[in-house]
Amino acid sequence: MAEEAVTTLHAELALFGRVEEGFALLEVFLEVARGRLGAVVLDPVGLRMPGEMTDDRTLVQKLIDEIEQESVGKARVAEREYDMDDEQARWDFVRLAYSSNQATVWSRRQRTTYFEVSGRERATYWLPDSLKAEYFAALSGRGWAIPEGWLTAVARQPKPWWKRGSWSG
């Protein structure tokens, strides 16, 4: 069976009118994709809130401070996993993903990344056609505008596994 075509959607916070719009779009995605999700993780070391953030600033800083206070033995946790069935965990992940050096939402199969933030600067969705259709329908149904660049993004067939090189960004 052929794999679905995948669309790459850039989601850096600078692309949105307000950073909270990027958060809201990620929140809707996590709700829509919940049944397909595998691990949802982020690197808790060196969290730094986006400077453009306005709403929830105090709450997010409190989350960051609490994580910074935690220690596990003599070393810090390299990866923190979030349970997407828990509403508070989803809220926390959405607000912290863009504060992290690395935040990733994996598919249930663990071979596909659906969303990733790297270096607090780059953020990308990789959505199979069926999931993209569900996501866009949910955004429209909730009154959210779909970013123009997302509407014009072209889906591409994934390379067969034997043609895929080692990890590349």
Could you list the residue range(s) of the whole structural domain that residue 113 is in?
A: 10-121
DSSP secondary structure code for residue 110 in this structure: S
Band of residue 169 on the pLDDT scale cut at 50, 70, 90: very low
Residue 81: phi, psi to the nearest 5? -100, 145
Q: Give the whole-number percent of the chain exceeding pLDDT 90.
A: 54
State residue 73's pLDDT score. 52
Q: Compare 136 and 46 and report the one with higher pLDDT.
A: 136
Is residue 19 within 8 A of residue 13, CB to CB? The reply is: yes
Distance, CA of 64 to chain centre: 18
Indicate the number of domains in the chain.
1
The burial class, CB within 10 Å (0-12 / 13-18 / 19+), for 36 is middle
Determine how β-strand 37-42 pairs with β-strand 102-107: antiparallel
Give the dihedral sign, CA 119/120/121/127.
Answer: positive
Inform me whether the pLDDT recorded for 163 exceeds 70.
no
State residue 160's pLDDT score. 59
State residue 7's pLDDT score. 94
Give the tens place of pLDDT for each residue, 60-119: 899 998 888 875 555 556 788 999 999 999 999 999 999 999 999 999 875 789 999 998
Give the tens place of pLDDT for each residue, 119-141: 887 899 999 999 999 999 999 99
State residue 20's pLDDT score. 86
State residue 168's pLDDT score. 44
Residue 137: phi, psi to the nearest 5? -65, -40
Band of residue 57 on the pLDDT scale cut at 50, 70, 90: confident
Helix (H) or strand (E) holding 131, with range, is: helix 129-141
Residues 6+ positions from 162 with CB-CB distance below 8 Å: none
87 lies in a domain? yes
Give the tens place of pLDDT for each residue, 3-25: 789 999 999 988 988 888 999 99
144 lies in a domain? no
Task: Please give the model's pTM, rounded to 2 decimal places.
Answer: 0.85
Cα end-to-end span (Å), the chain: 26
38 lies in a domain? yes
137 lies in a domain? no
Token pair recorded at residue 116: 């990733």
